[in-house]
Chains A and B, each alone.
Chain A
Amino acid sequence: MSIQVRNISKRFGDTTVLDDVNLDVRSGELIALLGPSGSGKTTLLRIIAGMEVADGGTVLLDGHEALSQKAGERRVGFVFQHYALFKHMTVFENVAFGLRVRPKHERLGDDEIRRKVMQLLTLVHLDKFYNRYPSQLSGGQRQRVALARALAVEPKLLLLDEPFGALDSKVRKELRRWMRRLHDEIHITSIFVTHDQEEAMEVSDRVVVMSNGKIEQVGAPGEVYHSPANSFVYDFLGNYNIFEGWKDTEGNTHLLEYEVKEEEAIATQNTPRTPGWISRYPEISGLLHKIIPSIVPHARALLPQQKKKVQRSPQHEKPVKLFARPHELFVVKNPDDFEYIWAKVIHVNPAGPLVKVEMERRNGSVITAELPKEVVDMLAIKKSDTVYVRPKNTRVFEDN
């Protein structure tokens, strides 16, 4: 079922929850509505479901105006964050509910209902639990019952409100992988709400990033992550460091405060480059490239760099904020002549695929870097060390 959301607005008292929202969902897509709490994502989902009434705008389901239809008539399956299972009914009865409440002339026979329910329970791997009550199931199992129950009425659209929000992280990861596979099998148009960016990225075909009742960006996970439309999206999708910088007349960005070897106030072009230490050890960079190709460019790419002295001309300087993710930083102990920031290591957390290094600048602000373990080991970075930091990849947002 395709969905067109047109100019939907919603207010609760004085608060604008949705502000002129437009969204197109293609048939068969799996869409994530991603945003912090209060961004309006759940309200949008409930308006599409028909559980909430919009103040303005319209929703088209398969091209037909849907707002005049009652929730039960829209053929929409809804999965609630806290499952909303009927706790006095067995798993079987829960799933059968939607089939049993149909008007008499549309109702299936008992055998047909039984066959269908068991088929759905097999799909969600709960056929052995058909006789249990919800209270006898784990959170993940309950959510799967809720999903089977929603699917029983053969909806053309599946809406899920924070479907994994109440589960612990391990079950959550399992269940979302499972949901992705299920969607690949049954291809039902699905929209799920989440505040977890990792979840949105991992599961969906397209991500809709929302904040303050507005859609900030719609795009494939990679697109949203690598080309965020604005600082909000960038901020919401991961951790980052901010550096004060300036833009020269040619539009290149530079760090405002940095240190190079004494007396050498050289600022260089902000073209992607490899740090000095890697150029000095091409065999290491080759090795690192094998392990982590995305982070360390291959030795072949390590050509002599073109240096260009840029005269600082304050009258043309435009102050900007430079954003860099923790994994987009170079950390060295012996700086070459690029723009580096002096920092002191205050914490090293080696748990995880990348080592997290926290550093403090002279001005007291903290920089967080995520470095491959090999790099940290090679440089022997430990607490209280003095290091030099350079962002290898920065972003500037016009809205900032």
Chain B
Amino acid sequence: MKKASIATAEHPFIRILLIVLAVTFVGIFVMLPLAVVFAEALSKGLGTYSHALMDENARSAIKLTLLVAVIAVPCNMIFGLAASWAITKFDFVGKRILITFIDLPFSVSPVISGLIYVLLFGTHSLLSGWLERNDIQIIFAVPGLVIATIFVTFPFVARELIPLMEEQGTEAEEAAVMLGANGWQTFWYVTLPNIKWGLFYGVLLCNARAMGEFGAVSVVSGHISGLTNTIPLHVEILYNEYNFAAAFAVASILTLLALFTLLLKSIIEYYFPHEIKALH
């Protein structure tokens, strides 16, 4: 971080005012809700808390969330690597368009992206006849959740890697090739070590979003308890059932996940600031 300049150091009164304002905002809008989540979750004691988490539907929601993340995150990691490799290491027609489309999930509301898949794979869709004949259920089932999650989270890895790989250029890869390395060796021994922290950072953000995604997943899930409810959807159901303590208990898992992600993220940013391009 750049050291503050003396030229922009305002009068002490203004300085204090600005600092207090910022701290108050963070306190009210971030810290307070965070505290409330844990306070509410534990309001009826540890027994209720653990009971809420051990509940069959809760356990199934956690399992489903993990399953979706375990499929979606590696998919997007491979996609992100492939896309950034293609975009930064060679020229092809439609490169600009590909870059634009990678950004699409960031600019489209998640609800819309969920709806797209309902229209594509749902009961009255173009593909519904074929899907029914082959007994494939996508919407209101696990495949739908995975597809929607992949869609929403696919920019994270690519967005992180493209600027990083662009900056690193192709010289090291060219050097490796000139020394006789094949494509796989070049990737494994030269490219990957140079981008691993950037990749890890992208995967981390991708994972956080994959586990926390609500909108797109909500549209395609059908909210079948014990079957198609992920953690965020389960929280909503519990809350709508006025089961506040349980809702907050399950929510606290997501909160802990967020805090853990934040911690890892800060560690990477601190030790490898140069490789974190998404920040700049």
List chain A positions with a Cβ less than 8 A from chain B.
49, 51, 71-72, 76-78, 80, 82, 84-88, 97-98, 101-102, 146, 149-150, 152-153
Contacts and interface: CB of A to CB of B under 8 A. Distances in A.
B180 A82 contact: no
27 contacts: A49-B178, A51-B177, A72-B178, A72-B179, A72-B181, A76-B178, A78-B174, A78-B178, A80-B174, A82-B171, A84-B171, A84-B174, A86-B190, A86-B193, A87-B172, A87-B194, A88-B193, A97-B176, A97-B179, A101-B180, A101-B185, A146-B175, A149-B175, A149-B179, A150-B178, A152-B179, A153-B180
Nearest to A78: B178
Given A97-B189, A101-B189, A84 B175 contact: yes
Contacts of B134: none
B107 interface: no
A86 B172 contact: yes
Majority-rule SS of B interface residues: helix
Interface of B: 171-172, 174-182, 185, 189-190, 193-194
Contacts of B172: 84-87
A101 B181 contact: yes
A78 B181 CA distance: 14
Contacts of A149: 175, 179
Nearest 9 Cβ contacts at the A-B interface: A98-B179, A84-B171, A101-B181, A84-B175, A88-B193, A78-B178, A72-B180, A101-B185, A84-B172
Nearest to B196: A88
Contacts of A78: 174-175, 178
A148 to B, nearest CB: 12
A76 B193 CA distance: 25
Contacts of A85: 172, 175
Contacts of A153: 179-180
Contact of B178 (A71, A82, A87): A71
A97 B178 CA distance: 11
Contacts of B174: 51, 71, 78, 80, 84
B153 to A, nearest CB: 28
A130 B250 CA distance: 54
A361 to B, nearest CB: 49
Contact of A97 (B171, B181, B182): B181
A179 to B, nearest CB: 19
A366 B279 CA distance: 54
A80 B175 contact: yes
A146 to B, nearest CB: 8
A80 B171 contact: yes
B197 to A, nearest CB: 11
B42 to A, nearest CB: 46
B62 to A, nearest CB: 37
Contacts of A71: 174, 177-178
B178 A77 contact: yes
Contacts of B194: 87-88
Nearest to B188: A101
A97 B176 CA distance: 8
Contacts of A76: 178
A86 B178 CA distance: 13
Given A80-B174, A101-B179, A149-B175, 7 more contacts: A72-B178, A78-B174, A80-B175, A86-B172, A86-B189, A86-B193, A146-B175
A51 B178 contact: yes
B178 to A, nearest CB: 4
Nearest to A79: B175
A53 to B, nearest CB: 12
A49 B180 CA distance: 12
A77 B171 CA distance: 14
A102 B180 contact: yes
A221 B20 CA distance: 72
A86 B177 CA distance: 12
A101 B178 contact: no
Q: Which of B172, B178, B189, B193 has the most C-beta atoms of chain A within 10 angstroms of its own C-beta? A: B178
A369 B262 CA distance: 68
Name the residue among A49, A77, A88, A146 with the largest chain B CB count within 10 angstroms: A88
